[in-house]
Chains A and B, each alone.
Chain A
Protein backbone atom coordinates (compact mmCIF):
# COMPACT_ATOMS: atom_id res chain seq x y z
CA UNK A 1 0.00 0.00 0.00
CA UNK A 2 1.23 3.50 -0.85
CA UNK A 3 -0.42 5.36 2.02
CA UNK A 4 -3.00 6.93 -0.26
CA UNK A 5 -6.52 5.55 -0.16
CA UNK A 6 -9.45 6.25 -2.44
CA UNK A 7 -13.15 5.51 -2.16
CA UNK A 8 -15.17 4.24 -3.81
CA UNK A 9 -13.07 1.93 -5.95
CA UNK A 10 -15.81 1.59 -8.54
CA UNK A 11 -18.67 3.93 -9.37
CA UNK A 12 -21.45 3.80 -11.92
CA UNK A 13 -23.53 6.91 -12.30
CA UNK A 14 -26.10 8.41 -14.62
CA UNK A 15 -25.58 11.72 -16.33
CA UNK A 16 -27.96 13.48 -13.94
CA UNK A 17 -26.43 12.12 -10.74
CA UNK A 18 -24.23 13.91 -8.23
CA UNK A 19 -21.47 11.92 -6.58
CA UNK A 20 -18.17 12.55 -4.82
CA UNK A 21 -14.84 10.79 -4.90
CA UNK A 22 -12.75 10.76 -1.75
CA UNK A 23 -9.00 10.59 -1.27
CA UNK A 24 -7.05 10.39 1.96
CA UNK A 25 -3.29 10.35 2.43
CA UNK A 26 -1.47 9.10 5.51
CA UNK A 27 2.01 10.24 4.49
CA UNK A 28 2.12 13.70 6.01
CA UNK A 29 2.36 15.27 2.56
CA UNK A 30 1.26 18.80 1.80
CA UNK A 31 0.31 18.51 -1.85
CA UNK A 32 -2.52 16.47 -3.38
CA UNK A 33 -3.62 15.89 -6.94
CA UNK A 34 -6.46 14.58 -9.05
CA UNK A 35 -5.64 12.85 -12.33
CA UNK A 36 -7.77 11.33 -15.05
CA UNK A 37 -6.47 8.21 -16.76
CA UNK A 38 -8.13 7.14 -20.01
CA UNK A 39 -7.10 4.26 -22.21
CA UNK A 40 -4.22 5.03 -24.61
CA UNK A 41 -3.83 8.56 -23.24
CA UNK A 42 -1.30 10.12 -20.87
CA UNK A 43 -2.35 10.85 -17.36
CA UNK A 44 -4.19 14.16 -17.35
CA UNK A 45 -3.62 16.40 -14.39
CA UNK A 46 -6.90 17.92 -13.28
CA UNK A 47 -6.26 19.75 -10.03
CA UNK A 48 -3.45 20.37 -7.57
CA UNK A 49 -3.58 21.58 -4.01
CA UNK A 50 -0.11 22.55 -2.86
CA UNK A 51 0.72 24.34 0.39
CA UNK A 52 -2.99 25.17 0.68
CA UNK A 53 -3.07 26.80 -2.74
CA UNK A 54 -5.23 25.43 -5.50
CA UNK A 55 -3.76 25.18 -8.97
CA UNK A 56 -6.39 24.65 -11.59
CA UNK A 57 -6.13 23.38 -15.11
CA UNK A 58 -8.34 25.62 -17.21
CA UNK A 59 -9.33 22.81 -19.50
CA UNK A 60 -11.19 20.90 -16.76
CA UNK A 61 -14.97 21.25 -17.20
CA UNK A 62 -16.91 22.84 -14.38
CA UNK A 63 -18.84 19.61 -13.81
CA UNK A 64 -15.72 18.53 -11.86
CA UNK A 65 -15.29 20.42 -8.59
CA UNK A 66 -12.46 19.71 -6.14
CA UNK A 67 -12.47 20.30 -2.42
CA UNK A 68 -9.52 20.10 -0.07
CA UNK A 69 -10.69 20.63 3.55
CA UNK A 70 -7.24 19.86 4.97
CA UNK A 71 -3.86 18.55 3.89
CA UNK A 72 -4.89 14.90 4.33
CA UNK A 73 -8.18 14.85 2.46
CA UNK A 74 -9.21 15.62 -1.08
CA UNK A 75 -12.59 15.31 -2.73
CA UNK A 76 -13.75 15.46 -6.32
CA UNK A 77 -17.40 16.38 -6.65
CA UNK A 78 -19.09 15.20 -9.83
CA UNK A 79 -22.34 16.43 -11.37
CA UNK A 80 -24.02 16.11 -14.76
CA UNK A 81 -21.14 14.10 -16.17
CA UNK A 82 -20.92 12.85 -19.74
CA UNK A 83 -20.16 9.32 -20.96
CA UNK A 84 -16.73 10.50 -22.15
CA UNK A 85 -15.88 11.25 -18.51
CA UNK A 86 -15.73 7.51 -17.88
CA UNK A 87 -12.16 6.80 -16.79
CA UNK A 88 -9.93 5.90 -13.88
CA UNK A 89 -9.58 8.84 -11.51
CA UNK A 90 -6.37 8.79 -9.56
CA UNK A 91 -5.45 10.74 -6.48
CA UNK A 92 -1.81 11.38 -5.60
CA UNK A 93 0.13 13.17 -2.89
CA UNK A 94 3.63 14.53 -2.55
CA UNK A 95 5.74 16.69 -0.29
CA UNK A 96 6.29 20.16 -1.69
CA UNK A 97 9.59 21.59 -0.51
CA UNK A 98 10.38 25.26 -0.82
CA UNK A 99 13.03 25.87 -3.42
CA UNK A 100 12.98 22.32 -4.75
CA UNK A 101 9.61 22.10 -6.36
CA UNK A 102 7.16 19.28 -6.11
CA UNK A 103 8.72 15.96 -5.27
CA UNK A 104 7.65 12.56 -6.51
CA UNK A 105 4.06 11.56 -6.16
CA UNK A 106 2.47 8.58 -4.50
CA UNK A 107 -0.73 7.37 -6.09
CA UNK A 108 -3.86 5.84 -4.71
CA UNK A 109 -5.50 2.83 -6.38
CA UNK A 110 -7.98 4.96 -8.27
CA UNK A 111 -11.74 5.07 -8.70
CA UNK A 112 -13.02 3.40 -11.84
CA UNK A 113 -15.90 5.61 -13.01
CA UNK A 114 -18.51 4.64 -15.57
CA UNK A 115 -21.00 7.25 -16.71
CA UNK A 116 -24.09 5.88 -18.41
Chain B
Protein backbone atom coordinates (compact mmCIF):
# COMPACT_ATOMS: atom_id res chain seq x y z
CA UNK B 1 0.00 0.00 0.00
CA UNK B 2 1.33 3.42 -0.92
CA UNK B 3 1.86 5.90 1.89
CA UNK B 4 -0.07 8.58 -0.02
CA UNK B 5 -2.78 7.92 -2.59
CA UNK B 6 -3.83 10.57 -5.09
CA UNK B 7 -5.99 10.13 -8.18
CA UNK B 8 -3.86 11.23 -11.16
CA UNK B 9 -6.89 12.35 -13.16
CA UNK B 10 -6.92 14.02 -15.61
CA UNK B 11 -9.65 16.28 -14.29
CA UNK B 12 -11.36 18.70 -16.66
CA UNK B 13 -13.84 21.33 -15.47
CA UNK B 14 -15.51 24.43 -16.94
CA UNK B 15 -14.38 27.86 -15.84
CA UNK B 16 -16.09 28.96 -12.63
CA UNK B 17 -16.60 25.44 -11.30
CA UNK B 18 -15.62 24.33 -7.81
CA UNK B 19 -12.76 21.87 -7.95
CA UNK B 20 -12.12 19.24 -5.29
CA UNK B 21 -8.74 17.52 -5.15
CA UNK B 22 -8.11 14.77 -2.63
CA UNK B 23 -5.44 12.58 -1.09
CA UNK B 24 -5.65 9.75 1.38
CA UNK B 25 -2.85 8.44 3.53
CA UNK B 26 -2.14 5.53 5.78
CA UNK B 27 0.53 6.80 8.18
CA UNK B 28 -0.73 8.26 11.46
CA UNK B 29 2.66 9.94 11.97
CA UNK B 30 2.03 12.53 9.27
CA UNK B 31 1.80 15.94 10.88
CA UNK B 32 2.27 18.56 8.15
CA UNK B 33 0.09 18.56 5.05
CA UNK B 34 0.91 20.54 1.94
CA UNK B 35 -0.43 21.22 -1.50
CA UNK B 36 1.86 22.13 -4.39
CA UNK B 37 0.94 23.40 -7.83
CA UNK B 38 3.13 22.50 -10.77
CA UNK B 39 2.73 24.20 -14.11
CA UNK B 40 4.05 22.52 -17.22
CA UNK B 41 7.85 22.77 -17.51
CA UNK B 42 8.16 24.22 -14.00
CA UNK B 43 9.00 22.87 -10.57
CA UNK B 44 6.31 22.50 -7.90
CA UNK B 45 5.44 25.65 -5.96
CA UNK B 46 3.96 25.61 -2.49
CA UNK B 47 0.31 26.58 -2.49
CA UNK B 48 -0.81 25.96 1.08
CA UNK B 49 0.22 24.03 4.11
CA UNK B 50 -1.45 23.16 7.36
CA UNK B 51 -0.49 21.43 10.57
CA UNK B 52 -3.74 20.34 12.15
CA UNK B 53 -7.16 19.05 11.28
CA UNK B 54 -9.68 21.58 10.02
CA UNK B 55 -9.87 24.12 7.23
CA UNK B 56 -7.44 26.75 6.07
CA UNK B 57 -8.51 29.33 3.54
CA UNK B 58 -6.42 31.51 1.22
CA UNK B 59 -8.37 33.42 -1.39
CA UNK B 60 -10.09 30.97 -3.70
CA UNK B 61 -8.26 28.01 -2.16
CA UNK B 62 -9.30 26.01 0.90
CA UNK B 63 -7.23 23.20 2.35
CA UNK B 64 -9.03 20.68 4.53
CA UNK B 65 -7.49 18.02 6.74
CA UNK B 66 -9.37 15.20 8.44
CA UNK B 67 -6.84 13.27 10.50
CA UNK B 68 -9.41 10.83 11.82
CA UNK B 69 -10.21 9.71 8.27
CA UNK B 70 -6.62 10.25 7.01
CA UNK B 71 -7.98 12.38 4.22
CA UNK B 72 -6.99 15.80 2.89
CA UNK B 73 -8.62 17.98 0.28
CA UNK B 74 -7.93 21.12 -1.69
CA UNK B 75 -10.93 23.09 -2.92
CA UNK B 76 -10.66 25.71 -5.63
CA UNK B 77 -13.60 28.10 -5.94
CA UNK B 78 -14.44 29.99 -9.11
CA UNK B 79 -11.78 28.05 -11.02
CA UNK B 80 -9.88 29.91 -13.72
CA UNK B 81 -7.97 28.69 -16.80
CA UNK B 82 -4.80 29.85 -15.02
CA UNK B 83 -5.48 27.16 -12.39
CA UNK B 84 -4.75 24.50 -15.01
CA UNK B 85 -1.78 22.61 -13.61
CA UNK B 86 -0.84 19.46 -11.76
CA UNK B 87 -1.60 19.57 -8.04
CA UNK B 88 0.55 17.52 -5.69
CA UNK B 89 -0.26 16.72 -2.10
CA UNK B 90 2.64 16.20 0.26
CA UNK B 91 2.97 15.13 3.87
CA UNK B 92 5.70 15.28 6.46
CA UNK B 93 6.00 12.70 9.20
CA UNK B 94 7.45 13.03 12.69
CA UNK B 95 10.75 11.71 11.35
CA UNK B 96 11.02 14.67 8.92
CA UNK B 97 10.39 12.46 5.93
CA UNK B 98 8.40 13.92 3.04
CA UNK B 99 5.88 11.86 1.09
CA UNK B 100 4.28 13.06 -2.13
CA UNK B 101 1.21 12.00 -4.05
CA UNK B 102 1.43 11.29 -7.76
CA UNK B 103 -0.27 14.59 -8.60
CA UNK B 104 -3.66 15.32 -10.19
CA UNK B 105 -3.70 16.98 -13.59
CA UNK B 106 -6.36 19.71 -13.76
CA UNK B 107 -7.59 21.54 -16.84
CA UNK B 108 -10.02 24.45 -16.51
CA UNK B 109 -11.80 25.07 -19.79
CA UNK B 110 -12.69 28.69 -20.65
Contacts and interface: CB of A to CB of B under 8 A. Distances in A.
Specify whether A and B are partners: yes
Interface of A: 2, 4, 6, 40-43, 45, 50, 90, 92, 96, 101-102, 104-110
B99 interface: yes
**B interface: dominant SS:** strand
* Contact count band on B: 20 to 34
Given A42-B4, A90-B43, A108-B43, A102 B101 contact: no
A110 B43 contact: yes
B43 A40 contact: no
Interface of B: 2, 4, 6, 8, 31-32, 34, 36, 41-46, 49, 88, 90, 92, 94, 96-103
Nearest to A31: B96
B86 to A, nearest CB: 10
Nearest to A101: B96
B46 to A, nearest CB: 5
B102 A90 contact: no
A42 B102 contact: yes
21 contacts: A2-B43, A2-B45, A4-B43, A6-B43, A41-B102, A42-B99, A42-B101, A90-B43, A90-B44, A101-B31, A101-B32, A101-B96, A102-B92, A102-B98, A105-B98, A106-B46, A107-B36, A107-B43, A107-B45, A109-B43, A110-B43
Given A41-B102, A42-B101, A109 B42 contact: yes
A107 B2 CA distance: 23
Nearest to B93: A101
Contacts of A6: 43
Contacts of B31: 101
